[in-house]
Amino acid sequence: MERRIQSLRRECLGHFVPVGLKHLDHLVARYLEHYQERPHQGMDNKLLGNSQAAGHDPRGDEGEVVCRARLGGVLRQYERRPAA
């Protein structure tokens, strides 16, 4: 839990000054979405969320690379769209 809090503080809250509880809730919610969907080195670069169970592999070698930006581009995630 300490590692998650440290990541939240360093990767998200270090870039913003929350101006109220509602704003802080928004920042934390967007960060947690990002945290669940990104690959984690300590877990053999696997995702924490259920997207791998659905056959989604962001590390594939075919398809267009797309960027998903959150919080005005502070958090970015790159993945490949499956080739059609």
Residue 66 domain-assigned? no
Domain boundaries, position 30? 2-57
Residue 82 domain-assigned? no
Distances (CA, A) of 62 to 37, 81, 83: 20, 8, 6
Residue 84 domain-assigned? no
pLDDT digits (tens, 9 = 90+) for 28-41: 998 888 877 776 55
Residue 29 domain-assigned? yes
Residue 62 domain-assigned? no
Residue 65 domain-assigned? no
Residue 47 domain-assigned? yes
Q: How many domains, the chain?
A: 1
- Extract the tokens encoding 67: 């960027």
Residue 79 domain-assigned? no
pLDDT digits (tens, 9 = 90+) for 45-77: 666 555 544 445 555 567 788 888 888 788 887
Contact present, 75 and 30 (Cβ < 8 Å): yes
